[in-house]
Amino acid sequence: MSNRPLNPEELEGIRRLLDGEPPPPELSGEAASLAEALDALAPVLTQA
């Protein structure tokens, strides 16, 4: 994983996932991997 900043589309896709919405179809690459990881962790994060 690189340390490059996320672009606005990637940030919007992650925001949508955190809000429980489906990600936009253009979300891809590292942002998609991060979004999938956040989606998988959501049940744990909401219990904290």
pLDDT at 48: 58
If you write DSSP's letter for every residue of 1-48 in order, what string do you get? ---PPPPHHHHHHHHHHHTTPPPPTT--HHHHHHHHHHHHHHHHHHH-
- 1 against 14, higher pLDDT: 14
Q: Which of 33, 1, 3 is nearest to 13 (CA)?
A: 33
- Please answer whether residues 38 and 13 qualify as being in contact, where contact means their C-beta atoms are separated by less than 8 angstroms: no
**What pLDDT does residue 24 have?**
66
Q: Is the pTM of this model over 0.75?
A: no
Q: With a cut of 80, say whether residue 2 has pLDDT above it.
A: no
Mean pLDDT, the chain, whole residue set: 75
Band of pLDDT at residue 27, cut at 50, 70 and 90: low
